[in-house]
Amino acid sequence: MQRRKFVKSSLLITAAGAVIPQISMAKDALINEGSEFYELRVYTLKNEQQQKLVEEYFKNAAIPALNKLGCKNIGVFTELKPTGQTKIYALIPYSSLDNFLNVEDKLNDNKLYQANGAGYLNAPATEPAYERIESSLLKAFAHMPQMQVPDKKPRIFELRRYEHATEAAGKKKLEMFNNAGEIDIFKRLGFNPVFFGETLIGELRPNLMYMVAFEDMAAHDANWKAFGSDSQWKEISAVPDYADAKLVSRITSTFLTPATCSQI
């Protein structure tokens, strides 16, 4: 009986040894298929002193340190027309999920980062650097797996969020962007898309977000007018399964301008 148990255990271990690497490989393929990941932070602030502290943190500490860790093209934005004190939006790209998961530990061990960001990192509870941070983790769309940085010239950005009633509706909207050609229309009409991302973790899920750039509001209005009358868009949106009423429950649009330290 003991020998029988030993043989059975050996077979199970052998089988597990064959299956586990396959599971691991499948997981790695899913995570590292070439699409970037994005962390979108939204800082709620109460005054200009906090705004200055957060912007200086990114300029002097976060951006230099993150660039060295492989996070390129970090965006830092303020609202174009804020109601009261502006919020700060920070967009941080990661080459992989592992990159995202390991960054915080590496920053904690970085003495220069800790010194340059001390005012923000060690702000007392009585005078915090910000009120709260809302964070979302997004995965880049398959049809635009890498961020595209627009030319450094006067520009405004529109950050759009599409919320969905169900996960299935969200996947269908992704299909429109990736497979039906919606991203190609944006590019052809000169929207200067920066990124497209599906929200994996964050508020108001399920949703997707993307950012496009314009010279000014007049260019924004002209581009969206052209989009609405575009023959390819009319053809795509006429497909019953792609009707907005089925796929999009709410659209939120936020207009942003780059802070002086922004790399986008």
Q: Which two tokens stand for residue 150?
A: 């627009």
Count how many domains the chain has.
Answer: 1
How many CB atoms are closer than 10 A to CB 70? Answer: 12
The verdict on residue 155 lying in a domain is: yes
pLDDT the model gives residue 97 = 95
pLDDT the model gives residue 31 = 43
pLDDT the model gives residue 225 = 98
The verdict on residue 263 lying in a domain is: no
pLDDT the model gives residue 112 = 98
**Strand intervals (E) in the chain:** 37-44, 75-79, 88-94, 132-140, 156-163, 193-201, 207-214, 250-258
The verdict on residue 140 lying in a domain is: yes
pLDDT the model gives residue 33 = 63
Question: How far apart, in whole angstroms, are the C-alpha atoms of residue 162 and residue 207?
Answer: 5
The verdict on residue 264 lying in a domain is: no
The verdict on residue 240 lying in a domain is: yes
In this prediction the pTM is 0.86
What CATH number is associated with residue 253?
A: 3.30.70.100
pLDDT the model gives residue 19 = 38
pLDDT the model gives residue 111 = 98
Strands 132-140 and 193-201: antiparallel
The verdict on residue 174 lying in a domain is: yes
pLDDT the model gives residue 125 = 95
Counting every residue, how long is the chain? 264
What stretches in the chain show pLDDT beneath 70?
1-33
The verdict on residue 115 lying in a domain is: yes
pLDDT the model gives residue 50 = 98
The verdict on residue 224 lying in a domain is: yes
pLDDT the model gives residue 23 = 35
* 135 secondary structure, DSSP code: E
Name the residue range of residue 79's domain.
Answer: 37-258
